[in-house]
Amino acid sequence: MLNIGILGATGYAGEELIDILLKHKYARIAYLAAKIDQPDNISSIFPKFKGRIDLVCTEPKLDEIIAKCDLVFLALPHTQSFGIVPKLLKAGKRVIDLSADYRLKDIPVYEKFYKVVHADKDNVKKAVYGLPEFYREEIKAAKLIANPGCYPTAAILATAPVLISGLVEEDCIFIDAKSGVSGAGRRAVNDLMFTEVNENFKAYKVNVHQHMPEIDQELSGVSKKTIKTNFVPHLLPVNRGILETIYFKLKKSADQKQVLDIYKRFYKKEPFVRVLDEGKNPQLKDVVYTNYCDIAVNVDPEKKTLIVVAAIDNLKKGASGQAVQNMNIMHGFAESEGLV
Amino acid sequence: MLNIGILGATGYAGEELIDILLKHKYARIAYLAAKIDQPDNISSIFPKFKGRIDLVCTEPKLDEIIAKCDLVFLALPHTQSFGIVPKLLKAGKRVIDLSADYRLKDIPVYEKFYKVVHADKDNVKKAVYGLPEFYREEIKAAKLIANPGCYPTAAILATAPVLISGLVEEDCIFIDAKSGVSGAGRRAVNDLMFTEVNENFKAYKVNVHQHMPEIDQELSGVSKKTIKTNFVPHLLPVNRGILETIYFKLKKSADQKQVLDIYKRFYKKEPFVRVLDEGKNPQLKDVVYTNYCDIAVNVDPEKKTLIVVAAIDNLKKGASGQAVQNMNIMHGFAESEGLV
Amino acid sequence: MLNIGILGATGYAGEELIDILLKHKYARIAYLAAKIDQPDNISSIFPKFKGRIDLVCTEPKLDEIIAKCDLVFLALPHTQSFGIVPKLLKAGKRVIDLSADYRLKDIPVYEKFYKVVHADKDNVKKAVYGLPEFYREEIKAAKLIANPGCYPTAAILATAPVLISGLVEEDCIFIDAKSGVSGAGRRAVNDLMFTEVNENFKAYKVNVHQHMPEIDQELSGVSKKTIKTNFVPHLLPVNRGILETIYFKLKKSADQKQVLDIYKRFYKKEPFVRVLDEGKNPQLKDVVYTNYCDIAVNVDPEKKTLIVVAAIDNLKKGASGQAVQNMNIMHGFAESEGLV
Amino acid sequence: MLNIGILGATGYAGEELIDILLKHKYARIAYLAAKIDQPDNISSIFPKFKGRIDLVCTEPKLDEIIAKCDLVFLALPHTQSFGIVPKLLKAGKRVIDLSADYRLKDIPVYEKFYKVVHADKDNVKKAVYGLPEFYREEIKAAKLIANPGCYPTAAILATAPVLISGLVEEDCIFIDAKSGVSGAGRRAVNDLMFTEVNENFKAYKVNVHQHMPEIDQELSGVSKKTIKTNFVPHLLPVNRGILETIYFKLKKSADQKQVLDIYKRFYKKEPFVRVLDEGKNPQLKDVVYTNYCDIAVNVDPEKKTLIVVAAIDNLKKGASGQAVQNMNIMHGFAESEGLV
């Protein structure tokens, strides 16, 4: 059994990791920590785990983590991984970091969008971006995984195939993204109160969201061009799920079948990407509580436009599910273990 | 007092008309009809009206309508107005039709998108498109108003000023629209069941929705160019409200202030369009249960893109509120009577 | 015009008061104050009021309030009225306090349930409990109104008639109450986050809620007996509305008609209590955004039980609507002015 | 592997059975049928199953069911099991019926509350009521399981221990039940439309709901007294989950610890009943998507009342989860296989 530690166990991603790992055949949760007033059993913090796990969650202590764990998931607020990652790597542990701290290769861009100072630049170079559909081989050998953001996971999976194909204009990509509220993390702030979100809907951080440079970095990487998308996130009154509708201008006319084939071929061996048949479009209810990314393409040959729709569960494929998928790849387990 | 008839009183638009007109100083509801098993008091059909109105709703009878009403609102399913409008006009009544039947000037386009045969072509020419911000003078004298669709109201108000200004590419307009469920009408179908919509979100009728040609017709009219937008509606798990995020490519670089000024000037005298200050974007909760359309502009000078966000209540400015606004204009009442 | 001040203008009750008073013929909002970082226009704080009111909201200053207002609504957290009420009364102003501070005549009970010290005992005696259906005459002459709590308003209106009739056991009253989230006030706490409340439902403060002694005080008063109810509030995933299902044991068998007649007679002249006909029960959607309290009775003659169901909007009849109803009574306006 | 057939595969309970059984180690889905226009792959009907199961769902054919299945789940509307159960039993198949058709031992009561004629009285006697906490031994040997209703499951588990103890008055039991919408089945009717349920809440079938006699039958059985409860269901605007708040009058004073001990002892070996510690009460979010029933007791020694709160997922412990629990017991699998 692989011994697992989770830091940030009381956030949404941490809670989801516990839920997934309790069903995993080859992993056992050995250590739980979080910013917490006093140590408490995790099944008291989350009564839903009562009868399923009996383990105390404490403030993190490095020597205990090292003594008890083979692999550590970090589900911490941004910048908090910097003090821990170098020590865990030095102690020979493998680390999957769910924060943004090791995702952006361009440090000034990180510092601009997250409005903080980066304090572990060396390890950024070693970190592997944990999107299995593009970096599976690198993930196998990685010591440090930068687990992708929720919005970027859907945006990259939905955009890369057609961008690589060269069919679309590179300077005219509009990503209209809608996310459930758990994507914002467990934070008691006014904007996330029930009465503010329920029966409401809004755009926020129009073209300035911190996930935009992550999308641009990866799309630029796979397409070998400088990609600058337009990215507008919206807050949906649902607990879970992200749906993105992405608008492209075709360089020349193409038809539905042609573009659909590009996607079907691109993902034909992927266990967690489902390209939908013509005439169907994704919806949240088909992907929530699963690790799937559903994708559909809609071509208008006359207007020369392409509209791609993609949906994921922000806590599964968009965070903890993908993190466990990465763990499975790193350790040679079946890639879908614990995830279906 | 103006005597009002409402046909289709039991649908969402009809119910909303009753609610608005009960607060109107110069109008009284004189006649209510709907497709109904047997006549019933409207306050029994809608217990929320108990104590506020005491009037029986029946199957429509033309002679009664003509005897009792000065102005008739038709809030009927598409094609059902054809049999009634000519007779009401002949009897000298003014008619505000909330269906799509008289909106599209191009009959074959109507027949293609609504998949029905048009049975009153003559009156299409006489009908005035009831968007006061663009047709106020024509509305004053109109006998027949084609009250705009909910999606088109927001899309046209949000797009027309910048399109007229000539700043944006005409062949690259993407309208990402999200609507609450009452926009679909009161129909017991599987897709609108609570458990299908709640905690769900999806795109539907991608680039084939019947409101797209209405948007294109009006934008072509105001801009004197042939406009073909891309229009993707989505179903939001809320009762009321539409928010549209509209993506444009700028012909040449422009800045935020420049575009904002265009909108502020365009709507400066309009009682129901609020152009938001820089840095603010609309949200549903600021417009639901009101007749306002809130609009914000977001320019990215470097990427040369413009993102306009607009929000309305689909049952007020998107249907019954706008219908009463039109009635007020037709009869010389204060334009906001009953609406604030 | 009556000049109105609102203290606590940024809470839910304050926001609702503004919304109601903007439609009131004989009152104008002259002063707005709240605990606020810096003075700001209320239409900037609540964009929904843009175009409807142009008034700065500041920290409260007593001399300004006295100079500008004839009547002051206090919509403040508990205990904060103590420092203001005596001064306003001394200055000859009429005060409607929406907090619990002047509702409980028994000071130790107040201090036990609110876990604070009462600092204005003298004015408790002078305060009139602002439930018009029971204290209309006293309200006319009152200088200080203790506006009822939301749960008590529904519970008292639903229980008093049958309790006065003597038909039910006094020691076996179970009030199962369910409230929308705005009832908890505008507070950024974990329990009221969207993801905690949405798709969730729970009981809280079982038989220890601070509204229970208020219900007991009033029911004891009207029935001339010592009433101790059992009161269990629950948190509903909706923005607005309270529905209470109240269980009684009949002393002797009675039938539906007999009990229904008691209620119909009791409330026959009341403008805002609607007793439903046999076979109908209230639902939130018929009362939200209105000042009505809907009540239905369900008798089981065989089991000798009575089940009363009542519904109100917690921000209208349960708070600000009732406060304006009280204002209307105090000043001789039509009781429903601004409320329908 | 146990070969499973599901009839009624397209309803909520059927869909949930598929989801559970796809994770079950010892069972495989061999046959799916439903009332359906034309045969279709289940992963086309439910896109969420795409990639997880590849099986056509057809109209049921008896010979195929018998050829392919060892055990059959019937998730059909009431009365539709009558034509199938006798034939399946005769063919030696074991049957778990999720409808109410075999639950009520008193045929006239069934016919009164379901307003239909019972057409298979013989098998009612042989059917075992599938509530494992009370009938585990009988379930092991059963050929036909009458799987309990959702409301009764929570009500019986929450009420039986204290009723058996003799501490409470038998003629004064009030069950205030609240259910998510999936409890009503997948039916396109007006009352279950999104806009009717969302932001709404109501009581329905007050003291006449068809689950009441089922509760009374079982509580009478375990307590050896004639129990007539008062049962009021309410419709919650959530997809899943039932919470019941049950009110009792104590015969004599008792304290919290005493009653809590009764429950803790009663369920101490049960894998799916969790009795909460003092001061905690259940909430939906701790039980949805699980097979647990959470129960808490609240004693008021002074008022001599007991308030028990219980929560389940209506589709798991309230239907398909409990059905699989019964299957596991019948076949000697671990009782929680597929359920955690």
Q: Nearest CB to A48: which of D46, D280, D290? A: D290
A-B interface: how many C-beta pairs under 8 angstroms?
128
Q: What angle do CA C312, C315, C319 make, to 5 degrees?
A: 95
- Closest listed residue to residue B169, CA positions, set B267, B265, B247: B247
Helix (H, G, I), strand (E, B), or coil: what is residue C208?
coil
Q: Which pLDDT value is given to residue D313?
A: 98
DSSP-derived letter for residue B250 is B
Q: Would you state the structure tokens that stand for residue A239, as one six-digit string? A: 């607990």
DSSP-derived letter for residue D237 is S
Residues 270-309 of B with CB under 8 A from C: 271, 274, 276, 280, 283, 285-287, 289-290, 292, 294
Q: Which residues of chain A have pLDDT under 50?
A: none
Residue C187 has pLDDT above 90, yes or no: no
Q: Which pLDDT value is given to residue C253?
A: 87
By C-alpha distance, the chain B residue nearest C271 is B51
Length of chain B: 340
Residue D253 has pLDDT above 90, yes or no: no
Helix (H, G, I), strand (E, B), or coil: what is residue D41?
strand
Spatial neighbors of B221 by CB under 8 A, at least 6 apart, are none
Q: Which pLDDT value is given to residue A186?
A: 87
Calpha distance B209→B205 (Å, rounded): 5
Average pLDDT, chain D: 97
Average pLDDT, chain C: 97
Q: Nearest CB to D48: which of A46, A50, A286? A: A286
- Closest listed residue to residue A267, CA positions, set A275, A259, A256: A275
The alpha-carbon gap from B235 to the nearest alpha carbon of chain D, in Å, equals 11
Chain A residues closer than 8 Å to C237 by CB: 194, 198
Q: Which pLDDT value is given to residue B185?
A: 87
Residues 143-182 of A with CB under 8 A from C: 181-182
pTM of the entire predicted model: 0.97
- Compute φ and ψ for A30, nearest 5 degrees: -110, -20
Spatial contact of B133 and B99, defined as CB atoms under 8 Å apart: no
Spatial contact of A182 and A150, defined as CB atoms under 8 Å apart: no
pLDDT in tens, C281-312: 999 999 999 999 999 999 999 999 999 999 99
Spatial neighbors of A283 by CB under 8 A, at least 6 apart, are A243, A311, B200, B201, B202, D47
Residue B61 has pLDDT above 90, yes or no: yes
CATH class of B150-314: alpha beta
pLDDT in tens, C106-126: 999 999 999 999 999 999 999
Q: Which pLDDT value is given to residue D188?
A: 87
Pairwise CB contact (< 8 Å): A195 & C237:
no
Calpha distance D159→D170 (Å, rounded): 11
By C-alpha distance, the chain C residue nearest D198 is C238
Residues of A forming the active site: 150
Chain B residues closer than 8 Å to A204 by CB: 281
Cβ-count burial of C80 within 10 angstroms (0-12 exposed, 13-18 middle, 19+ buried)? middle
By C-alpha distance, the chain B residue nearest D191 is B188
Chain C residues closer than 8 Å to D154 by CB: none
Q: Which pLDDT value is given to residue D97?
A: 98
Spatial contact of B104 and B118, defined as CB atoms under 8 Å apart: no
Calpha distance B159→B295 (Å, rounded): 10
Pairwise CB contact (< 8 Å): A48 & D286:
yes
By C-alpha distance, the chain A residue nearest D46 is A286
Q: Nearest CB to C290: which of B48, B286, B289? A: B48
Residues of chain D with CATH 3.40.50.720: 2-148+318-330
Chains contacting chain B through 3 or more C-beta pairs under 8 A: A, C, D
Q: Which pLDDT value is given to residue C276?
A: 97
Calpha distance A289→C196 (Å, rounded): 17
Residues of chain D with CATH 3.30.360.10: 150-314
Q: Mean pLDDT over residues C205-224, rounded? A: 97
Residue D302's CB is within 10 A of a number of other CB atoms, namely 9
Helices and strands in chain A, H and E counts: 13, 15
Q: Best of C42, C50, C340 to disrupt the B interface by mutation (most B CBs within 10 Å)? A: C50
Chain A residues closer than 8 Å to B239 by CB: 199
Residue D256's CB is within 10 A of a number of other CB atoms, namely 15
Spatial neighbors of A209 by CB under 8 A, at least 6 apart, are A151, A231, A233
- Residue found under tokens 């409301």: D151
pLDDT in tens, B112-171: 999 999 999 999 999 999 999 999 999 999 999 999 999 999 999 999 999 999 999 999
Strand-strand pairing, D94-97 and D128-129 = unpaired
- Closest listed residue to residue C103, CA positions, set C3, C218, C26, C12: C218
- Helix or strand holding residue A248 (H, E): strand A242-249
Asked whether the CA dihedral D31, D34, D39, D45 is positive or negative, the reply is: negative
Q: Would you state the structure tokens that stand for residue B31, as one six-digit string? A: 């006649």
Pairwise CB contact (< 8 Å): A195 & C188:
no
The alpha-carbon gap from C337 to the nearest alpha carbon of chain B, in Å, equals 11
For residue C6, list its beta bridge partners.
C32, C73
- Residue found under tokens 């109810």: C229
Chains contacting chain D through 3 or more C-beta pairs under 8 A: A, B, C
Chain B residues closer than 8 Å to A245 by CB: 176, 203, 232, 234
For residue B242, list its beta bridge partners.
B179, B312
The alpha-carbon gap from B127 to the nearest alpha carbon of chain C, in Å, equals 31
Q: Which pLDDT value is given to residue C262?
A: 98
- The crossing angle, in degrees rounded to 10, of helices C107-114 and C212-223 is 150
ipTM: 0.96
Pairwise CB contact (< 8 Å): D276 & A47:
yes
Asked whether the CA dihedral B177, B181, B187, B190 is positive or negative, the reply is: positive
Task: Give per-residue burial for D269-281: e unless 16+ CB within 10 Å, then b.
Answer: ebbbbbbbeeeeb
Q: What is the CATH number of domain B2-148+318-330?
A: 3.40.50.720
For residue D243, list its beta bridge partners.
D178, D311
The alpha-carbon gap from D36 to the nearest alpha carbon of chain C, in Å, equals 30
- Closest listed residue to residue A337, CA positions, set A14, A10, A7, A22: A22
Pairwise CB contact (< 8 Å): C200 & D238:
yes
Q: Which pLDDT value is given to residue B188?
A: 87
Q: Which pLDDT value is given to residue A176?
A: 98
By C-alpha distance, the chain C residue nearest B280 is C47
